[in-house]
Structure 1
Amino acid sequence: MGRIGDTFTKLQQKNEKALIPFLMAGDPNLELTKELVLTAEENGADLLELGIPYSAPLADGPTIQKAAQRSLAQGTNLTAIFKLVEDIREESELPLILMGYYNSIFSFGLEKFVKRCAEAGVDGVIIPDLPPEEGAELQELSTELDIILLLASTSNQTRIEKVTDLSSGFIYAVSTPGVTGARAELSTEVKKTVTKIKDIKDIPVAVGFGISSPTHAQQIGEFADGIIVGSAIIERIEKNLDLLERDKEELIAKVSDFISSLKEPLTKL
């Protein structure tokens, strides 16, 4: 069992649920991303997703799309992201998951990608546009890398069984149809999906898409093993970009305070 599995086991023993923030690597630059990762860990992050910027992200809403564009403008690529992970690993054992689109990984080279993940200290990967039917080669190469698959609340039983069987580390349950983005209300349909997964296999399930407040964290934490929060965090970075030059620490504090507020309700379940 790797860092991802160990983390969920330890949280279960403490009756806590996992907080999994998403940060776009390189938004607004790689140096700040590293600082935000380390600060997120200090403020309650149990695992963390690092986005690989891509010019045509099909599953991402406007907030994360803009973050990807800011990152690409800085020249961020997979080589730089692996160096970022290596730098983080000098100071942290926080489980790190790369989330990106298949074209980026295919262009980098599957074998090279898996090898660099192992060397740098990446624990898992999420590829929203790679269906399990087409992911056999990556699955075969990734003997020590958790391949985390997604399930929507609209998935039928056959699909749930297939994805549950193939996924490792945890399953990413999408709370609502559509793209990523903060929402005022969350669908309750995802709870049924989580229950169906648990009936098939004892694997952690984390819910993402739309979670944007401590109230949402509390609601999802009642039945899932963790929550994934991306757009609501990216929004706080975007709204405070003016602080980057004159008071970077205030920008970091605004993000870390929000992360801490999301973790608090997850410790009381």
Structure 2
Amino acid sequence: MKTLIPYVTGGITADWTDYLLAYQAAGADMIEIGLPFSDPMLDGPTIQQASDRALSRGVSVASLLADISEIKFDVPLIVMTYANLVMRSGPADFCRRLAAAGITGLIVPDLPVDELGAVEEAAAAAGVDLILLAAPVTPDDRLAEIVARTRRFVYAVSLMGTTGERATLAESAVTLADRIKAVSDVPVMIGFGVSGPEQAAEAGRAGDGVVVASALMRRVLDGATPDDLRHEVAALRRELDALEDHADHPAHPEIPGDRR
């Protein structure tokens, strides 16, 4: 089954954890939670606006983890944050706090693979999977190291640039997924620019699953409720499941003996 990972910016609304529950009810396999940061270098305008809204509400890492810890979730929760927040209290303390709140995965996109040591060690000690990113321009030797050290999956950045809604899935996503699969059997999740069911299906065909972020946060910024997003994530789920149905029941099955 293709993996679906919807995203929410922590604290974007007072009832932000209801979006997590809505995603879970709609069939999400994992959920990515962005910790708001004042200078999110890899995030485009939508996620930046979502972070600004959350920060204006006065949220903090401590308050968001407290919100999460009050609810029991049935799917893994993954935090995406920047190195500044990890290093502020130290990797060991940060990862212990994640684990105590029920977080099982961590993505730090601005932490280079050759500077992972302390965070990698702290995450492993806390039982948190450190998930690494690969980009279309990642050289082969660096890619091999990334897929060897990542845990759970590799986050395949579909194109160079920041996150954001896009009309089509970048062709570089397919090329990158093929490169990763050529050197490892680690699952490949494609993100950056996956904006709707059709693109989710494209990404699902190229990799093992998708991360959908900016498109969902744009809907929240425009006033969508948790129930609204439950329907949208359910539509993504159906599109990904249809890929499996098509694989199990091809439109033109081969007729025995027919080798034309």
Alignment equivalent of 2:112, drawn from 118, 131, 156 = 131
Q: Is 2:98 the counterpart of 1:117?
A: yes
Residue 266 of structure 1 aligns with an amino acid whose one-letter code is L
Q: Is 1:201–2:184 an aligned residue pair? A: yes
Deviation at 1:136, TM superposition (A): 0.4
Render the CA deviation track for 1:41-66: whole Å, top value 9, x for unaligned.
10121100010000000000000001
Detail structure 1 runs of 4+ shifted over 4 Å in the superposition: none
How far does residue 200 in structure 1 lie from its aligned partner after superposition? Answer: 1.9
> In the alignment, which residue of structure 1 is the partner of 2:234?
260
**AA at the equivalent of 2:232:** F
Q: Does structure 1 conserve the Cα–Cα contact (< 8 Å) formed by 2:169 and 2:202? A: no
Partner of 2:12: 27
Measure the CA separation in 2 of the matches of 1:253 and 1:145.
30
Cα distance, 1:265 vs structure 2: 1.1
Query: Which residue of the other structure, out of 97, 102, 124, is the alignment partner of 2:78?
Result: 97
The alignment's TM-score, normalised by the length of structure 1, stands at 0.87
Partner of 1:171: 154
Which residue identity lines up with residue 253 of structure 1 in the other structure? Answer: D
- 1:40 to 2:31 alignment: no
Q: What residue ranges of structure 2 are gaps of 5+ in the alignment?
A: 244-260
Equivalents in 2 of 1:85, 1:197: separation in Å?
33
Match of 1:7 in 2: none
What residue is the counterpart of 2:165 in the other structure? 182
Is the CA contact 2:136–2:158 (under 8 Å) kept in the aligned structure 1?
yes
Q: What is the correspondence of 1:225-236 to structure 2 with a 5 Å cutoff? A: 225-236=208-219
2:253: which partner in 1?
none
Structure 2 partner of 1:13 = none
Structure 1 residues 176-200: Cα deviation after superposition (integer angstroms, max 9, x where no partner): 1100001001212222221221222
- On the 8 A contact 2:24/2:74 being kept in 1, the answer is no
CA RMSD between the two structures: 1.2
TM-score (norm 2): 0.90
- Shift of residue 110 of structure 1? 1.3
Q: Distance in 2 between matches of 1:233 and 1:154?
A: 27
5+ residue gaps, structure 1: 1-15, 242-250
CA distance in 1 between counterparts of 2:194 and 2:37 reads 22
Contact 1:38 1:88 in 2 (8 A): no
Alignment of 1:46-65 (within 5 A): 46-65=29-48
CA deviations on 1:30-82 (whole Å, 9 max, x unpaired) are xx111110111101211000100000000000000010011111111111121
**Cα distance in 2, alignment partners of residues 68 and 136 from structure 1:** 28
Paired residue total: 241
| Aligned residue in 2 for 1:215 | 198
Partners of 1:21 and 1:108 in 2: how far apart?
28
